Amino acid sequence: MSTRTTTKTILILGAVVVVAAFAYMLSGRIGNNLVYFYTPSELLAEGSKAYGAKVRLGGQVVPGSVKWDAPTTDLRFVMQDGKAQIAVHSQGAPPQMFRDGIGVVVEGKYVESGTFEANELLVKHSNEYRPPKPGQQPEEMYKSLIKAGAP
Amino acid sequence: MLGALGSSALRVALLVAAFGLLAGALGGAGGKESWIRTAYAAAYTQFALVATATLAMVTALVSHDFSVSYVAQVGSRETPLFYTIISLWGALEGSILFWGFVLSAYTAAVVYINRARPGKLVPYATATLFFISAFFLILLVGPANPFKPVFPVPADGPGPNPLLQNHPLMAVHPPFLYLGYVGMSVPFAFAIGALLSGETGSEWIRTTRRWTMVAWGFLAFAIVAGMWWSYDVLGWGGYWAWDPVENASFLPWLTATAFIHSEMVEERRGMLRVWNMSLIIVTFLLTILGTFLTRSGILSSVHAFAEGTVGYYFLAFIAIVLFASFVLLSGLSPRLKSTGRLDSLWSRETVFFFNNLLLTGFMFTVLLGTLFPLVAEAVRGVKVSVGAPFFNQMTIPICATLLLLMGVGPALPWRSATREQIQRQLIPPTVMMVTVAIGVVVAGVHQFYAVLAFAFAAFAITANLREFWRGIRARMTMHQENPVTALARLVGGNHRRYGGYLAHMGVLLLAIGVTASSAFRMEREATLKPGSALTLGGYTVRLKDLWGREEPQRVVVGADVIVERGGAVVGSVEPRMNYYKTSDTPVVTPAVRSRADADLYVNLMAFERDGSSATLRVLVEPLVSWIWFGGMVVALGAIVSLWPAARRVPRRSPPGGVAVDEDEVAVAAEGAA
């Protein structure tokens, strides 16, 4: 009888330890991994507090601001929310749907030089379960490539 | 015409479901045979009606009947036939129709298989299934009606989402996901049936186990197929991003996994009965929550909620199910008294106890991370996202421990292990674990969790293989069989047990693949002129040429890329970019050169219009293909486990005792010798 009681006690103690370790990890980790979402005007309103914190910035690509340097895979563009603008810099080719005027979300840090250094760039696309809007026909530029490269 | 047929079939099906719910409940309460027969007939009728509606939708899609709202939404004359058919589940309304179809098929199957079984369990379970399908049919005749008439009839439609018509896995992942997701309704129905009828004995748990295994196997296969699709289609080179949609499919799988382990404790020892019932209910609720999250548009933002009314229906349904289950479970839990007790800490029961603790903890972590942004926005009005690091930091230690337990569980006997048993069973896997740990560190692996994962996987693989080997050896000495016959008869004599070990092996292979591909992944991006190359992880990737091609529904731009290794050309790949005529968003087709040791993944990121240069993103990911292989082994394990026993009828366990099987006796005899 006593061994059974001990067994049960040890088991309950084990469970308590596991749950406690779990709760401890959970409480610390979630706070550290929250990424807040800002628009350019909200981020600028934070002033110097905005520098260095990992945030997500959402807005529109200012038409004509995209500078994509293919040889160095360096991408620069300006984002706006109608009230304010922020220059964004990132490395790597932009997603295929990236273009002037499209809504984008970048994740990264706003640095003192006044540039948002992004390490992730997401283009806002419609919900997976919603069909795409009727869009443009494939543009002339791809057809030129067809003529150039077609066998 | 097809629209009217589909609409009316769904309306009649709703009436039949309501009637079947009533008949099943009356049959269960009064035990009158006529009511029970009526409920069963309603199940077949409902299946015929929903199948008619589904067939009408497929016909409308194939014949481009744009007077049907769903066809006008996802159809297009240019879409190839194959993708036209599978666009049935490509958007909200069609996916709910397909859900209703799968549920009515499950209901009919449950009734057919159990039609001769006496008692009140099956009538109540049937009524519960009718309750669930009534909910989906209400959605289908109301806010998610796919058969709404469209006027004026458009000449053509936009076609399905380009992402969904770019890969044949779209024909595999969604149907299996539904089979798994909807399949969890059946164990739930039996749980409610058992509570209401009071038939909570071994019959209930056996039936529920089998149906849970069916849904669990489908879900496991669907999740891995979804990972594969994401890897092959989306072009980022990963397969899991802790995206809410992925999490939604994973949550019920975790609790179902907990159940198929803990139910054995109930079957063998009569313990954990309330717990098992709760796991089944929670699993079902998680499938509905997952459907709500992915279908209501709540995920992108709380504000998207206002766009559709479907979300409110789901919330109401979740509330009703949660409340009713809670009332039933708390009111009727005296029917679920434990009949056994724990004998020893060194037993399989203990391992299952911790397995359940970890799996439910895993589920809560993923649930918290998924729902936190919604709660934060609703309560504090801030927009936040929970980053992948949260999920990784929390779940990697849990996964590592689960890997270890996957070896300890099979190695320990039920009830109580002797010191000799513990030593004999745990020392060989431990030796293997230490050897592998030292081996990978010497080989240059210094990430703590990678070493841990490989070592624990080695432990568990050894322990599971040893179970096969012990059985084979026992049969070889007892029956003078050759090893192959012994293996076949061993597995044939106990599908459940060896199917389970096989599933373990699958999960372990998958875990090794995930560990290796995330710890040793290499990535490089560069802009290349035709003829120039980049090198990564021993591969030289050379751009040869760029080309374009026009197809009926899209324009394709591709790159011819030569792969060299050790100075020699080993192959060529062809990453492409597809411009669909009805969409402004191009879709990539990454090129994957898959080998057992590593995948070479090449994606066309950007190109110059005149063909003078292209930007390629190249990844080398070791052992990725082990994940897909492991997923198939898991599914195979589920099939083996469910395969009907041919030679003998399953033996009933003596009251309060342990079910005996031949192999265990054989193994015990071998151990004693």
Q: Give pLDDT, residue B651.
A: 46
Closest by CA to B298, choosing from B248, B227, B241, B363, is B248
Tell which A residues from 17 to 36 touch B, by Cβ distance under 8 Å. Answer: 18-19, 22, 25-26, 29-30, 32-36
Kindly state the greatest CA–CA separation across chain A: 87
Nearest CA in chain A to B360: A19
Does some domain include residue B240? yes
B153 shares its domain with B219: no
Closest by CA to B376, choosing from A149, A30, A85, is A30
CB contact under 8 A, A73 and B526: yes
Residues of B in contact with A33 (CB under 8 A): 386-387, 389-390, 393
| B305: confidence class by pLDDT, cuts 50, 70, 90 | very low
Q: Give pLDDT, residue B495.
A: 92
CATH number, position B587: 2.60.98
Q: Which of A18, A29, A149 is the closest to B393 by Cβ? A: A29
Q: What is the pTM of this model?
A: 0.90
Lowest mean per-residue pLDDT among B203-217, B503-517, B648-662: B648-662
B217 shares its domain with B234: yes
From the CA atom positions of chain B, what is the Rg in Å? Answer: 27
Does some domain include residue B91? yes
| CB proximity A135 to B under 8 Å | yes
Q: Which of B74, B385, B399 to mutate to test the interface with A (most CBs of A within 10 A)?
A: B385
CB contact under 8 A, A35 and B387: yes
B178 shares its domain with B321: yes
Q: Which of B297, B343, B584 is the closest to A136 by Cβ? A: B584
Total count of domains within chain B: 4
Residue B407 in contact with residue B429, Cβ under 8 Å?
Answer: yes
Which one-letter amino acid corresponds to residue A143? K
Does some domain include residue B141? yes
Q: What is the mean pLDDT of chain B?
A: 90
B75 shares its domain with B110: yes
- Give A97 to chain B, closest Cα distance, Å: 5
CB contact under 8 A, B585 and A10: no
Does some domain include residue B656? no
Residues of A in contact with B609 (CB under 8 A): 141-142, 144-145
- What is the rounded average pLDDT of the residues A128-149? 43
Does some domain include residue B534? yes
B247 shares its domain with B352: yes
| CB proximity A1 to B under 8 Å | no
| A144: confidence class by pLDDT, cuts 50, 70, 90 | low
B370 shares its domain with B399: no
DSSP per-residue string spanning B441-483: HHTT---HHHHHHHHHHHHHHHHHHHHHHHHHHHHHHHH---H
* CA pair distance B588, B231, nearest whole angstrom: 12
Does some domain include residue B651? no
Does some domain include residue B187? yes
How many percent of chain A have pLDDT more than 90?
Answer: 19
Closest by CA to B103, choosing from B114, B111, B115, B92, is B111
Q: Which domain holds residue B218?
A: 167-334+347-386
- What is the rounded average pLDDT of the residues B31-60? 96
Complex ipTM value: 0.78
B427 shares its domain with B450: yes
B567 shares its domain with B591: yes
Does some domain include residue B583? yes
B381 shares its domain with B410: no
B503 shares its domain with B526: no
| B299: confidence class by pLDDT, cuts 50, 70, 90 | low
B95 shares its domain with B181: no
Residues of B in contact with A19 (CB under 8 A): 357, 361
Q: Which of A16, A74, A96 to mutate to test the interface with B (most CBs of B within 10 A)?
A: A96
- Give A26 to chain B, closest Cα distance, Å: 7
B152 shares its domain with B55: yes
Q: CB pairs under 8 A, 24+ apart, for B536-542?
A: B536/B618, B536/B619, B536/B620, B537/B598, B537/B620, B538/B565, B538/B566, B538/B620, B539/B563, B539/B564, B539/B565, B539/B600, B539/B618, B539/B620, B540/B564, B540/B565, B541/B600, B541/B602, B541/B616, B541/B618
